Structure formats: structure tokens, C-alpha cells
Chain A
Amino acid sequence: MTDTLDATSPFAGGIVGEARLRKEDPALLTGEAKFIDDLALPGSLWIACVRSPHAHARITSIDTSEALATEGVAAVYTGADLADAWAAPLPCAWPVTDDMKNPAHHPVAIDKANYAGDIVAVVVAESRYAAADGIEGVVVDYEPLDAVVDLADAESDRVVIHEDCGTNVSYDWALVPDPDAVDAAFADAVHHVTETYVHQRLIPAPMEPRGVAAVPSPHNGDMTLYSSTQIPHILKVMASLTLGLPEQKVRVIAPSVGGGFGCKLNVYAEEIICMALAGRHGVPVRWTETRTEAAGSTIQGRAQRQTIELAADADGRLTAVRATLLADMGAYLQLVTPGVPLLGAFLYHGLYDVPAYAFTCRSVFTNMTPTDAYRGAGRPEATYAIERAMDALAVAVGVGPDEIRSRNYIPTEKFPYDSPAGLIFDSGNYQPTLDRAKELVDWDGRRAEQADRRAAGSTKQLGVGISSYVEMCGLAPSRTLAALNYGAGGWESATVRILPTCKVQVVTGSTPHGQGHETCWSMIVADQLGVDPDDVEVLHSDTAISPLGMDTYGSRSLAVGGTALWMATEKVVDKARTIAAHMLEAAAEDLEFAGGVFSVKGSPDKEVPLAGVAFGAFTAHDLPDDVEPNLEAQVTFDPGNFVFPFGTHIAVVEVDEETGAVDLLDYAAVDDCGNQINPLIVQGQLHGGIVQGVAQALWEDAVYDADGQLRAANLADYLVPSAAECIDMKLDHTVTPSNSNPMGVKGIGEAGTIASTPAVMNAVVDALRPHGITDITMPASPMTVRRAIEVAGGGAS
């Protein structure tokens, strides 16, 4: 037993819980792995997209003649040319309200471009270079219209972007279980804190840009779509519907995928266009995104304005939380765009025991790139709001940020906890994560150092910031999704197949893109079967091999897909037990299975190894009646509840008051994701997740100008952090198993990102509090910090 597993864990084989190196690595380390652009598909045509340079414009005419005359160009299509190619507009699977406005979103715009990047024509050519040449020959006349880039402006309907919707408001959504209780709590509150925060737009920026290759079989009607996607299974369904193709003829394959972070959880125009044109031209049709193009072709994240109010008694104990959002949908609703605020809607009270709760959200269209899920999706926003506001409450009450949290944590004895938003938190024990994180950063020492620097009037001030979080992941119980109007279920499928030679194939509906599923899935099955993890092969990401799946997002793979796998393995073991009992002429219930061997309890010499059972199941020469040959089982698991990982992160920053530069000096994270299958993977997810959240706090900003032009459209201006800005983080963990699944596991893919942004911003504000500064707009760039100091009238230069 390692300290990564609780004593109650079902694992004891010495494989699960160990920091096992990844089996994915050798192919990736040597260049052997094939990403989408690495595929050799002879005879392919390439597309290049003509994208609107205007954020909002009527298309008055398109002249394709020069493009058609360009060497290597095979065809040029406008939106009108392809209008009959679509059976339906690009899909939005989450109509959160019955009256939600969802304008038709065609893969190629027809009359009007609604953001800079909207596709207005497509060039098909013999090479990517020729396609790029071709787009220069497409002459589009636009009548520019006023662009809507400000959320309040959008809400005012000064300019209505989608005329047929009649308004820019897509929907209003509320979660207010007991309005009277909330009103009463605020009426009686001793402390009433009201805070407003802005989440800037972020660009997910996986290192691999997106890419598509659609490969037709013109005569038998098959269509294979290769795409750098997180969701081959969902994409197969949606692409079939959007193009009116028979689903049984459609196969989707995600090759090696170079990161996703939510932005490859979508059904994109280029995927549908390549499929349509592959059908039309009868040859493979491909597209690879360039990084600058991605600014307009791939969804962005966050982009919300929040108001959060806390009601508390004289001791600072929370009595109610009320949150109001204004969320930027961008120009269109992509696959789950409208649902992103809802994924945070239940968590604006954080991990605090709050009796009364209210959440409302309004979502508006703007003339900017559509938003959608980005690592954490809704939960980073919620956590940011409550964790920033808790610091404000601490100041109002006159206690430390650690103390205000300790007073309000949901007590351990209340789990499973009925949350005021209507969820049931599976398990939690919050205080130890705060205590340990404080130790890791030498909380008292840093506070003393901060006091010294303040007393000395140093131009370099210290700030310490706490963020405690709980998040809901393991998406999701299908019935809950139904209640939220989501257009699909939240189950996951797994098949476990023991081959005649006792090697194992696992088929999973989860779709890895860097998370290490092959390693972890092998460890789970190996532990259960008593085989070597290297003898387990994990098959995934191809709908012909893995026909059932709901893919990877929302930190769901392990808690849902892993559980399906665990259950399928148990099912195989049960079948093997029946066969083994027959072979040993014993009753199945008298057998034990350990170390890959079935033996009869009390008669240790009567045993048969799994290999013997597997071969017996394969030859089928002597199976019990009613037992089918072969050892294989499939399970589709629909979780009964979400899982709720939690933890506390503390950031220590230094602010140069003269230049406004913020340096991260120290960072501690104590997280609890229940039993850990492989701590190496858990730590890796946290490292990357934390840095992504820190990047929102300090560097990244997809800022648009008033004309709707993205000013940070490439990696020179959009500041994805490099190693030079980052530091070594101190990680530790506690283990509080979930009761939502038999392995007692919780997701950890998004936790780092959810926790780190408010920790860093609380630290920055903490450093500057002597100036009277209570908020800094993200990102806390040198210029923004410096301006805040000047506005506060402090920090003489």
C-alpha cells in the first residue's frame, strides 16, 4: 500500500498507486508517433479557407476567377455554392433553455461574416502551398458593419448581430433554489461583500494546431475522418447529422493528438467542409491550421464578467452567496458554448458551508471568435469569484485569509454534503490541505518577511495568496445532464478482452491526448488480472475499433471511463472464475483469485492460472453449459454522481512596484483526488494545470480592439509561458476516496487550472493592499499593475 491509496482502496497488487513510467513515451520521444499532419495520404487535395478580415460585415460579392486560374487550384467554393452540402448547421449540443437563441452557423458563411475569421470561401488545391496561393486570388467585397466587442454593448442591442434572433442575448439561466432564504440572509447579514471580476478571453493553444483529413471511398460510400480531436465518438454522430451521411458509413479516427485543453472538444467547420469536399472530389481532402489562423478558427475560453455577493455573520461565517454572470458566447454557439457557465453555476459557494444560494447568468453574442470549453470550463471562473471574494470578506471581518476559510469549510462530518445548489459532494476533508500548503510555503515566515519589506518601504513587495477549491468533474450522470438540457449522456464504455495467449486488449471510449490513459488503464487491468502492465494493450480513438464512447473532457476519463474499465475487468474475472471452477471441479464461490491464479480456498494445490483459463475459453473444448467461448466483457458505466476533488494552493509573489512586474517566488499545491492510480500522472497534470491557471493571472490575454480584431493572434503576442517564467512547484496530497465509483477516484486534469488563478491574484492583491488596491484586472501585466498603483496614488516612481 502506498500513500497514494486509501486503506479502503480495492487495489493491493502493487501496481496501482506506483509512479510507473509511461508506455506512450517511446513513440513520442523518437518522432515515431503520427499526428494528423504526419499522415501520408497520396493524392490528397488541400483546402485553404478565405476568412473574413472584418469582425462584422455583409458579403456583397465574391469573385473567384483569379483563384481558379492559380496554378494547382482545383476548385473554389463560396457559402452559396455549398449551401446544399449541409443537412444541418454546425451543431450546438447544449440548448440550455428552451428559448435559447441559436443562430444558424454554416461552415461557410453565406451573406454575412460575424467575426474576423468567419470562413467566407474555400479554395481546394493540389498542395497546401497552392491552396495558400489560391486564397490570395479570391476577391471578396464586404460592407463593414459596426462590431460588438463589449459585453454591455452587446446586451444593449445597439447592434443586433443575428437579425433573425432579434437580440444579442442568447439566454438567461437561473439556479435559485430558495429566493426568500437568500433575500433573508442578505437582509440579516453583518458583512455584505460585493465584488466584480472580469475573466479575460483566453486562447487554449495546445502545441499541436488542429488538422483534418477526410478520406472517402467513393464507390462503397465510406467516409473516414481523421481529426486532431478530443471527441471522435461525438464527432462521428454530429458529422453524420450535419452532413446527412449514414452514420454506419462514417468512421472517425483521432491520431496522436498534441493536446486539447477543451478546444478540440468541438465540431468545427473545417471538419465538415473537408468531409463534404472529399465526397465531392472523391479523393482525400486535408487542412492543417496555422497558429495565426487558429485565432479565428478555434474556440477561445473564459470571457465572463462576474458579480459575487457574500452575506456573512459577525464572525465571517457565510450565510448566503449570490452570483451573477454576463458571459460572452462569441459570434456563434459551438458544441457546448452555452453550457460552460452552467458547469460553474453550482460552485460559486466553493467548498464552504453556505445555507442559501443564488446564481443567474445572461449570455450574449459578440463579433468575436466563439467561446467554448477551455480547461476547467466554468469551474475556474466560479472558483476565482468565491476565492477572491473570500479574501475581501477576510479583510471586512478583520481576520486572515486562512482563518476565514477555516471558519467556513464544509465540516468533514457533513459528507456526503447536500450543497445549497442541489448537488451532493461525495467526500471531503478540507482543512488538512490548507494546513499542509501553509507549511510548504512557510506561511509565518513569509508573512514576517512581508511585514519587514512593508516596514522598510521596499519597492519590491511580497504577496501571499490562498485558493481553496472544490470542483465537480467526472462528467456526468446522464440524468443530471438531461436536467440541464444537454443533448447527450455522460456514460463511458470499456471492453476487456483476454487473448488466447493471456495477453490483454482493452478498448476504451475515452480519447487520450496526452494524459497517459494507456499507462493508467494498463495498470488498473494488470492489477486486477495479475498480469504485467506491458501485456495490456489499450485501443482507443478510432470509432471502428472503439465504437462506443463519450471521449475525454471534464476530468471524466478515470472516474467514468476508468470505472467502466474496472467493472469490465471484474466481469471478465467473474467469467474466468466460472470456467476455472469448472476446470477445477469446484464451486465458483470457493475460488480465490490472486496474482493471476485461481485456487480453491483451503486446497492451495488445486489451482489454475488465468493463462490456462484464457486458453480454455479460446479452445472452448470443455466449457460449462451456457458459457460462451472467449474471455471478453464490455461495460457501459453511467455514473450516479459527479466526483469532487479539492485542495488548497498558495502562491507567493514579488511585485516590483516601480515597473509593475510580478514574479512568482513560490507555489505550493496540496490536492486530493482520492485514490491515485499513478502519482506521476497526477503530478504531471497538476504541474501543467497550475501553469495554465497562473498564465491567466499573469500573462495571457486574447484582447480585441474596438473593431473586433484580435491583438494577440500569435504566440509572439499571446504570452503562453515559457520555462523561464515558471518555477518549481511544491506538491503534496491527501487521499479522501470518492464514493461515486468503486475505485474511489476523482479527476485531476483541471484542478490545477481551477485552483491557481485565484491563488496568484490573491497574492498580487495582497502585495498591493497597503496601497488600498483591492483588485487588479487580469492579466496582472507590468503595465496593469503599475497603472493600478498610480491610480491608487501610491508608489511614487
Chain B
Amino acid sequence: MTVTIARTLDDACAALADRPDAVVLAGGTDLMVEVNRGLRRMDDVVALDRVAELRGWDRDGDELRLGAATTCAELAGDELAPLVPALAQAARTVGSPQIRNAATIGGNLATASPAGDTLPVLAALDAVVEVRSVHGTRDVPIDGFVTGVKSNALAPGELIAAVRVPILDGPQEFLKVGTRNAMVISVASLALVVDRAGRNVRVALGSVAPVPVRAVEAEVLASDRIDWDAGAAPGPVVVDRFAGLVADAARPIDDHRGTAAYRRHAVEVLARRALRRAFTAGSGVAA
């Protein structure tokens, strides 16, 4: 086994070009667990945690570029939380303080677990993933990045350099149901973002399909029925129909953490709560 501690992005790309089968190690919160449990052997490792270029974030107008090594603790922190509140809420539900100090947004994307907490938020935000290799940089839209359960669009030799998300004017919610309060792997999650300028509502679901799914019909209904000028909460009939359409978008399976039926039910409950909260006085679009 070899471990390469990359110091620059070029170093990292070069090391990966050299050893295309190498495991890319960032925060290690998923990977090292698999290694410790003997589920995965690491032959060659390229560690990214010392690559300064992957850390930090930049704001360019209404766009936020998050370095791949931005940690969940940073996402949840005071600087980023006001810009992408749903991402902050999702990051706060990841693991525990120690995990949030280590876990990165790039790692969450690369692991591509159906239960990855930031993924539905990134899907709702139509995030763009910046992928880098010795051959250059390419952009991959989020809906093409996660390709299946724990699989992604990275080609050998590629790594995630950054994620770009829009800074929207409007409330955002991330809600999650687990098997208990803390440190829990989600059984179902939902991200809802409101784009007041674009007059639309976007909803994505986690843990109810192999990849994060958008509830497009529900989005159309909500965007259509919200009184954007008044910023008022939609009536109970609309909320119920919205929640029903969200549940229809889920394609859950049974596993040891939850049944498909419960997951579908849970996203329906979460959808109702998220829409109500987003348009409750004080956090409404008009606010």
C-alpha cells in the first residue's frame, strides 16, 4: 500500500493519473469505516486533506463555489449557512461534531450514497460539479453526477474540485427522518428550496431511490399555486396535493432501516411540513 499526501491540486491529479485505481481519501468518514470493517482494501491512497486549493469558498454574484474539501462543519457555520440554508441544515444532521469536522461536500458527492445528506439539497439547487484531472476541468450537472447507488460520473484519474450552487432569494428547508434523533443514517430526507426571483419551488428527495430524485410534478404545482406577490402559505388542499405528488416521485425500497411504504409516507409528511414552514409568516418568501 502507498499513501500520497497531495499538497496541490496538480499533485493530486498527477498522482491519480499515475495510479488510476488509487482510492481518493478526503475526510475519510465513509471510506475509513469500510476499511476498518474489512469491507474494502486500500492499495494506493491519494489523500486530499492537505490540498489548500480544495478548501474554502468564493462568492461570485449569485453563485457560490464551494471547494470540494469544504467540511460539513463549515457548511453549517455562520458564514455559509445564510447563503445556502438547506445545505447548512443538511450538514448539521451529518454524523456528529467530529464527523462534521472531517466530512467534506466532495466526499459526500463522491461516495454517492442514497442516504448522503447533502445530495438532495444539491439536487434541489441544480448544483454543478467541477471535475478535474490532468486533462483539465469539466462541469457535470448534479443530475448526471450521481449515477446509481454509490456510483458517480467520475472517470479514472478524475476528482471533484468544487461544487457550484446558486444563492437564491427565498426560504429553504431540509428535513430528515431517521431511526432516532442523533447520528442517524437517514431513512428519508427532503430538501425544498424557493427561488423567489424565478418564482419556483424545487424539491428533491434522499434515501427513497438509488439517486436523489426531484419531485417535478410537485414543484410545478407549488410554483403555480403560490401567491408570489403576497408570499402567503398555500391552502391545505394544495399542501396535501403537493405532498401526494412528492410521495409519488419516491421510488423507495425495503431495507433493514425502513420499508418502502414507510419511506413514501415519511416524504409525504416531510413535504407537507417543509412547504408549510417555508411559507409560514417570518420565514416566507416575502420576508
Contacts and interface: CB of A to CB of B under 8 A. Distances in A.
Interface of A: 132, 290, 292, 658-661, 698-699, 703, 705, 711-712, 714, 716-717, 719, 721-725, 781-783, 786-787, 797
Contacts of A698: 180
A783 B183 contact: no
A717 B269 contact: no
Given A659-B177, A659-B266, A797-B269, A716 B38 contact: no
B256 A712 contact: yes
Given A711-B256, A712-B256, A714-B37, A787 B262 contact: yes
A132 B256 contact: no
Contacts of A705: 256
B181 A783 contact: no
29 contacts: A132-B38, A290-B36, A290-B37, A658-B269, A660-B262, A661-B177, A698-B180, A699-B179, A703-B256, A705-B256, A711-B256, A714-B37, A716-B185, A717-B256, A721-B180, A722-B96, A722-B183, A723-B182, A781-B179, A782-B177, A782-B187, A782-B262, A783-B179, A783-B259, A783-B262, A787-B262, A797-B265, A797-B268, A797-B269
Nearest to A132: B38
Interface string B172-204: 000001111111110100000000000000000
B19 interface: no
A714 B33 CA distance: 11
B258 interface: yes
A750 B84 CA distance: 48
A703, A787, A797 — most chain B CB neighbours (10 Å): A797
B59 interface: no
Contacts of A787: 259, 262
Contacts of B96: 722
B257 A717 contact: yes
Contacts of A711: 256
A128 to B, nearest CB: 12
A292 B259 contact: no
A290, A703, A714, A716 — most chain B CB neighbours (10 Å): A716
Nearest to B270: A659
B177 A724 contact: no
B269 to A, nearest CB: 5
B181 A725 contact: yes
Contacts of A292: 37-38
B38 A719 contact: no
B188 to A, nearest CB: 9
B179 A725 contact: no
Interface in B133-187: 177-185, 187
A774 B73 CA distance: 44
A132, A783, A786 — most chain B CB neighbours (10 Å): A783
Nearest to A783: B262
A660 B259 CA distance: 13
A466 B258 CA distance: 30
B265 A786 contact: yes
Given A703-B256, A717-B257, A659 B269 contact: yes
B96, B177, B178 — most chain A CB neighbours (10 Å): B177
Given A658-B269, A659-B266, A725 B182 contact: yes
B255 to A, nearest CB: 9
A797 B265 CA distance: 8
A290, A711, A721, A786 — most chain B CB neighbours (10 Å): A786
Contacts of A703: 256
Contacts of B256: 703, 705, 711-712, 717
Interface string B243-279: 0000000000000111100100110110000000000
In the A-B complex, list the 4 residue pairs whose CB atoms are closest, starting with the nearest.
Answer: A724-B182, A711-B256, A783-B262, A722-B182
Contacts of A658: 269
Given A292-B37, A703-B256, A725 B266 contact: no
Contact of A783 (B33, B37, B182, B187): B187
A659 B37 CA distance: 32
Nearest to B185: A716
Contacts of A716: 33, 185
A725 B181 CA distance: 6
A362 B183 CA distance: 39
Contacts of A721: 180
A781 B262 CA distance: 11
Contacts of B258: 783
A754 B257 CA distance: 27
B181 A724 contact: yes
Contacts of B38: 132, 292
A290 B39 CA distance: 14
Nearest to B37: A292
Nearest to B96: A722
A659 B183 CA distance: 18
Contacts of A719: 179-180, 184
Contacts of B181: 724-725
A493 B257 CA distance: 48
Interface in B24-45: 33, 36-38
A698 B184 CA distance: 14
A290 B187 CA distance: 26
B34 to A, nearest CB: 11
A661 B177 CA distance: 9
A378 to B, nearest CB: 27
Contacts of A699: 179-180
A716 B184 CA distance: 7
Contacts of A714: 37
A699 B266 CA distance: 18
Nearest to B183: A722
Given A132-B38, A722-B183, 7 more contacts: A659-B177, A705-B256, A711-B256, A714-B37, A719-B179, A782-B177, A787-B262
B164 to A, nearest CB: 31
B161 to A, nearest CB: 29
A723 B181 CA distance: 10
A200 to B, nearest CB: 13
A725 B257 contact: no
B81 to A, nearest CB: 20
A786 B268 CA distance: 13
B180, B182, B185, B262 — most chain A CB neighbours (10 Å): B180
A654 to B, nearest CB: 13
Nearest to A781: B179
A723 B262 CA distance: 26
Interface string B197-221: 0000000000000000000000000
Contacts of B185: 716-717
Contacts of B266: 659, 782
Nearest to B273: A658
A722 B256 CA distance: 21
A732 B38 CA distance: 47
Contact of B262 (A132, A722, A725, A786): A786
A39 B36 CA distance: 22
A708 B246 CA distance: 36
Contacts of B178: 782
Nearest to A722: B182
Contacts of A782: 177-179, 187, 262, 266
B245 to A, nearest CB: 14
Nearest to B178: A782
Contacts of A661: 177
A661 B266 CA distance: 11
A705 B257 CA distance: 12
Contacts of A659: 177, 266, 269
A699 B183 CA distance: 13
Contacts of B37: 290, 292, 714
